[in-house]
Copies of this chain bind each other. A is one copy, B any other.
């Protein structure tokens, strides 16, 4: 185990034990350097792990904070979006996925037009004994809000972490739009290509937005992000 991992481990243990929970503050990076006798780079790599694991949040210009107990658990499983696997260990799921037009075949099956967009998801499960391939076809128009309630969780939590104003409600919108010139440049797509626009609005007690999150994502080629 390398040094930065040991430090991450130690910090993690201390957080779990509650050593730092008073005031929800962690020593700053400089202090941690002294404490562990390590360089800033190493300290930051250690903290990176904790941030990834949602144990710690960083606020630029402010400091390090013990995060609320957000799970790094797969929220898909939590919300039941993902199907429970029938068998257990060491299995991995690979996938590919993309938007495409329905075409003749799926348009007949799904009773939609041939040029309507469908979300095409491929699962490949590697078991010790066999390989299973599953394909999921979802017409976009039928699943306009599929993952929104899940999205709420992380977004709300992130804002709550900031702790400035109280978020009492959350609105979310998700649209499939076509790229204008500006979007095309930013997302490296052509004009009129389909892109996703995601708007998250956090509202205070008076119903006024106190935070706004906009996301635009290439709907055709992006490999890592999919919202529908």
- Chain A residues near B (Cβ < 8 Å): 5, 8-9, 11-13, 16, 48-53, 55, 68-85, 87-97, 110, 121, 123-125, 127-130, 134, 136-138, 142-143, 145-157, 160, 167-174, 188, 196, 198, 200, 213, 215, 217, 221-228
Contacts and interface: CB of A to CB of B under 8 A. Distances in A.
Nearest to A88: B96
A76 B87 contact: no
A79 B5 contact: no
A9 to B, nearest CB: 5
A147 B153 CA distance: 11
14 contacts: A52-B85, A52-B88, A69-B96, A69-B223, A69-B225, A70-B94, A72-B94, A76-B81, A78-B95, A78-B198, A78-B217, A80-B200, A84-B97, A134-B154
Contacts of A217: 78, 80
Contacts of A5: 89, 128-129
A213 B151 CA distance: 18
- The residue in A13, A69, A169, A222 that gathers the most chain B C-beta atoms within 10 A of its C-beta is A69
Contact of A71 (B95, B142, B168, B213): B95
Chain A interface SS verdict (over half): mixed
A58 to B, nearest CB: 12
B128 A142 contact: no
B16 A223 contact: yes
A72 B92 contact: yes
Given A49-B129, A89-B52, A170-B143, A75 B69 contact: no
A127 B72 contact: yes
Contact of A73 (B52, B55, B125): B125
A83 B147 CA distance: 9
A196 B210 CA distance: 25
A74 B221 CA distance: 16
Contacts of A94: 70-72, 88-90
A91 B93 CA distance: 10
B157 A123 contact: no
B125 A224 contact: no
Contact of A75 (B48, B93, B200): B93
